[in-house]
């Protein structure tokens, strides 16, 4: 991954943002797509905590959406521990908007960072899902249509 290659060739502190296309075995529906765009963030430094991660996400989402209710739910991702999914209140229900967590110390060790000195956090968010909330789009599949009347709004 981009994060690993970056950490293998750069010393901490690390603060990077990486956009890219993702492919998943997802059942396509109104809020899921098998192919989508994702933006990931990674921060590694001395003393970073889960509170720093939550604060970063909260400020980001407030800047993007304004004051919207958000919640963090415990989750599992293979390279972060603890891990969480972040939901926003949208159209009267909770919608998962991103996954996040603290970088596993074994990942830090694997790239030559001392986990006794450094900690890190990571998050990944689907661009199309963010666009759904920001522009009140009820079905993610609309973003992939050829309907110019819809697409020209953006």
> Could you give the number of structural domains in the chain?
1
Terminal CA-CA length for the chain: 30
- pLDDT: is 121 or 33 the higher one? 121
Q: pLDDT tier at 133 (50, 70, 90 boundaries)?
A: confident
* pLDDT tens, residue by residue, 14-50: 999 999 999 988 899 988 898 999 999 999 999 999 9
Q: Write down the pLDDT at residue 151.
A: 86
Quote the pTM value. Answer: 0.89
Tell whether omega for the bond before 139 is within 30 degrees of 0, i.e. cis.
Answer: no
Q: ∠ at Cα 62 (59, 66), nearest 5°? A: 165
Q: Write down the pLDDT at residue 91.
A: 87
In this structure, what CATH number is given to the domain that contains residue 8?
Answer: 3.30.930.10
- Rounded to an integer, the average pLDDT of 49-65 is 96
Where in the sequence is the domain holding 143, given as residue range(s)? 2-151
Q: Write down the pLDDT at residue 79.
A: 94
């Amino acid at each position: 991954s981009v994060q690993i290659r970056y950490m293998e060739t750069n010393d901490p502190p690390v603060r990077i943002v990486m956009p890219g296309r993702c492919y998943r075995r997802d059942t396509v529906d109104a809020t899921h797509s098998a192919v989508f765009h994702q933006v990931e963030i990674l921060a590694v430094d001395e003393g970073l905590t889960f509170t720093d991660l939550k604060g970063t996400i909260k400020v980001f989402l407030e800047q993007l959406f304004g004051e919207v209710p958000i919640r963090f739910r415990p989750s599992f991702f293979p390279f972060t521990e603890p891990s969480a999914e972040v939901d926003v209140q949208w159209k009267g229900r909770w919608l998962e908007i991103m996954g996040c967590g603290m970088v596993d110390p074994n990942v830090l060790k694997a790239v030559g960072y001392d986990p006794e000195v450094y900690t890190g956090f990571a998050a990944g968010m689907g661009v199309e899902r963010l666009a759904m909330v920001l522009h009140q789009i009820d079905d993610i599949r609309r973003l992939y249509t050829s309907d110019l009347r819809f697409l020209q709004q953006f």
